[in-house]
Structure 1
Amino acid sequence: PLNNWLAPYIELGKAKGGIFWFLALVLRVFIGEQLTYFPIGLYAIFGMIGGYLIAMKTDFKTIRKFGFGFGFTFLAAFIINMGFTINNTLKVGGDIFEVLFSYRIYPRELLFFSLGCMCLIFVLLVKKFEYIPDEKVEAIKNKTKIVRNFGQVTLTLYVLEAFINESIATSFHLMFPPHKVVDWGDKDAFMYSWWGIILFVITFVGFWQLFVYLWSKIDFKFGFEHLNYALTKKLRKAKSMRDFGNKHTETQEVIPEKQTAN
């Protein structure tokens, strides 16, 4: 609702120019059309809360209570909002898929749904991979190496993905008629080719898997995470997980057996 209310003022500020243009630019960073900091920033906030709970070795019962509580609350909000959205859309003869997926401002229905699922999945993953006996750590580490590699360089991948993904997508558009990059909102043959889209997905996923795998061979050097580690190492009093080689047993206390059973 806040996005829908403030979004028109962004366009008004741009139209007025001067200081209003600058204010509109600042407002656009936080609020407005899709993929702005709010509400997308909520994902990062919940991720920070989850990381903090794990770092503080919070009792799993507490994590489960808050995770399931928020998760089911958001899913209930999703169902309620979807009911209103479907009802209002049908009244005016609209297309519900068009309303949800062809949008300029991030729909609250999708926000509630994704946040709800994220909270529930977080609890399940913490139970399976964090609060486990030490004798299971090595087996879990070996099975989750690919996922953990991506987790170590998320910021760098976020910075690189727009340019690289756009380059891959552009190459596929050029392969199909009219063999040029179409304007925003226009369609070409590639967008209607099922085998072309499947090939694009395979190329897209395969590239990033290979990229991260090869990069891991040099310990992810030259990324933003590596730079941050190098800059803060001298200021840090306690050793980080990188100093220990990400060894679970040296950075995390042994979890009592009765806690893992909850």
Structure 2
Amino acid sequence: MPGILEGKRLLITGVLTEASIAFAAARIAQEEGAEIVLSNFGRGLSLTRRIAKRLPQEPPVVELDVTDDEQLATLARRVGEHVDQLDGVLHAIGFAPQEALGDDFAQTSWEHVQTAFHVSTWSFAALTHACLPLFGERASVVGLDFDNSTTAWPVYGWMGVAKAGLESTSRYLARELGSRGVRVNLVAAGPLRSMAMKSIPGSVAFEDAWEKRAPLGWSVTDTEPSGRACVALLSDWFPATTGELIHVDGGYHAVGA
């Protein structure tokens, strides 16, 4: 029986370690029949090339720094050397300097805030635009979020504001690109012991809260549920869903104290 991504061609960013949601999504996508291309840059590029060998089939890896305009401008051509079309993109990119995290929120300089927004928010629109030339009649763009639309989290600092901006960006992209057959959605995962979460000071507080309050329970080391959600949104199983935020958090978002 063919998988739900049979014949699909995907660009997946952010595959850095086996503990990442992006790695889980890449593995499941291949198991479901997709042909994938990975991307990263700098020191992360060699790490991605190494981790790519642990996937069911080793995919090609292209260089992409989402803050580099030239690399964005040439992305479609370079990805096009490996696949003739893209049916979906997973944006698994986020970064904030340490100075923009923690509880000194009002004291953070614009220099550090700007970096968080550039990498974590603006890049979602920039990556989508860079991939448009490769999209066919229909395509799906999926991003990774930590739900910040109505809540201020401890220690998350300006990354929380950048993620709230990501949610708004996804809605505007969904509005503008729907007529081109492009769906744009986000997956809001609970806390996982990825490199991104480990870089946040005091992030263990998130783990404790989820383990106590999530109705379905929560494992901070299990990326499978989030990876499956990404794959489902990249498939044709949600043909009329766009501008949506899908929670994969054990139900934590739905309950009070």
Structure 2 length normalisation: TM-score? 0.25
Structure 1 length normalisation: TM-score? 0.25
> Which structure: greater strand fraction?
2
Bigger Rg, which one: 1
